[in-house]
């Protein structure tokens, strides 16, 4: 154990009844910036969300979209298709989805990177999964006074081509003053090292915010480096998670996931919650039209 870095593991607990996090769970979250709660949602609820996602995928025509999402490629951030998705349900393909002749390498449902970013407000099944009394209780206990669910993402991490996500902090993209972003990551299928599970640097939420992404004067998104010291990636730990697990993490906690080169998909669902009491800058990428006001758990 490193004197300067006292936390070496990701704290993990069985989910508490009613989402009533214990003092121990709260102190673990405060110290590590990440908390695993096993069996937070039922496998039936996970299956219902996957089934609904599959219906939405069936209705999607990939030829309409040439956009890909990759944190390794700045160019995607310039893409209006992404920037305008904050109050919509849009699909994003994997980088390797198409072969050289422009045909999908795998079937449609195994070519998608993610779906985002407002399913929780636009689709009844996603709404129901996202607004449970248990989740509202967790959010209250971790101290978010006036929560708003800013975005939802359905992560496909498909077999063979599911791309790597490099180490980052979510507050880079979901920045408020003061910072208030908290991520809620649900395993809808078993996440393992083989299929590219989430990995976190426990205690890394005490590092500075290293980058900030925002809309520049020309409307294009830029990522500004605030602190160029490298991540202490040797301190990363995998969060292998059976379906039904919830992982809560601070917007400052560095995390990543490796590519999925296995033959199994790794579906997950994420919500990002902010505190309405914090200022939400106009230059953040995610902006909603007035037709879809932010909501908490009511």
Site for Fe ion, rule CB under 5 A: 170
- Nearer to Fe ion by Cβ, of 199 and 265: the residue is 199
The distance of closest approach from Cβ of residue 170 to Fe ion in the complex, given in angstroms and rounded to an integer, is 5
Q: Report d(CA 245, CA 259) in Å as an integer.
A: 20
Order of strands across the sheet with 165-168? 165-168, 255-257, 198-200, 237-238
Distance of closest approach, residue 255 Cβ to Fe ion, in angstroms: 6
170 versus 250: smaller Cβ distance to Fe ion: 170
What does each C-alpha distance from 45 to 13, 24, 120, 208 come to in angstroms?
Answer: 20, 27, 15, 37
Q: Tell me which residue has tokens 């990428």.
A: 285
Minimal CB distance residue for Fe ion? 170
**Strand ranges of the sheet holding 268-275, from the earlier edge strand across to the other edge:** 12-14, 34-38, 246-250, 182-187, 268-275, 147-155, 112-117, 89-93
* Residue with tokens 């096993």, as numbered in its chain: 38
Match 């969060």 to its residue by tokens. 239
Q: Shortest gap between Cβ of 262 and Fe ion (angstroms)? A: 21
Q: Which residues contact 207 (CB under 8 A, 6 or more apart)?
A: 227, 252, 254
Q: Which is nearer to Fe ion, 19 or 251 (CB)?
A: 251
Closest approach of Fe ion to the CB of residue 102, in Å: 30
178: closest CA among 250, 255, 77, 256? Answer: 250
For residue 110, count other CB atoms closer than 10 A to its CB.
18
Closest CA to 88 of 43, 120, 63: 120
Of 87 and 170, the one with the shorter C-beta distance to Fe ion is: 170
Here the tokens at position 219 are: 């409307």
Nearer to Fe ion, 63 or 152 (CB): 152
Shortest spacing between CB 261 and Fe ion, in angstroms: 20
Name the residue nearer to Fe ion (CB basis): 18 or 119.
119
- The distance of closest approach from Cβ of residue 168 to Fe ion in the complex, given in angstroms and rounded to an integer, is 6
* Least distance (Å) between residue 34 CB and Fe ion: 12
The smaller minimum CB distance to Fe ion, of residues 111 and 171, is found at 171
């Amino acid at each position: 154990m490193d004197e300067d870095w006292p936390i070496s593991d990701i704290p993990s607990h069985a989910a508490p009844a009613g989402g009533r996090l214990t003092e121990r769970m709260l102190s673990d979250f405060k110290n590590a910036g990440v908390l695993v709660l096993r069996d937070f949602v039922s496998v039936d609820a996970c299956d219902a969300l996957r089934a609904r996602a599959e219906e939405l995928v069936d209705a999607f025509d990939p030829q309409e979209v040439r956009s890909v999402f990759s944190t390794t490629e700045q160019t995607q951030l310039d893409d209006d298709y992404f920037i305008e998705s904050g109050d919509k349900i849009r699909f994003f393909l994997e980088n390797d989805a198409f072969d050289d002749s422009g045909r999908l390498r795998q079937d449609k449902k195994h070519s998608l990177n993610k779906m985002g970013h407002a399913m929780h407000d636009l689709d009844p099944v996603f709404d129901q999964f996202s607004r449970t009394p248990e989740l509202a209780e967790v959010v209250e206990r971790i101290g978010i006074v006036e929560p708003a669910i800013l975005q939802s993402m359905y992560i496909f991490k498909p077999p063979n081509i599911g791309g790597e996500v490099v180490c980052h902090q979510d507050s880079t993209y979901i920045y408020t003053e003061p910072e208030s972003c908290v991520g809620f990551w649900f395993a809808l299928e078993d996440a393992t090292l083989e299929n590219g599970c989430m990995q976190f640097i426990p205690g890394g939420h005490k590092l500075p915010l290293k980058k900030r992404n925002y809309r520049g004067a020309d409307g294009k998104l830029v990522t500004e480096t605030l602190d160029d010291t490298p991540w202490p990636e040797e301190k990363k730990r995998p969060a292998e998670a059976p379906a039904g697990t919830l992982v809560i993490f601070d917007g400052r906690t560095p995390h990543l996931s490796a590519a999925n080169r296995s033959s199994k998909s790794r579906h997950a669902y994420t919500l990002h919650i902010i505190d309405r009491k914090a200022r939400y800058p106009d230059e953040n990428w995610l902006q909603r039209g007035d037709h879809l006001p932010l909501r908490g758990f009511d």
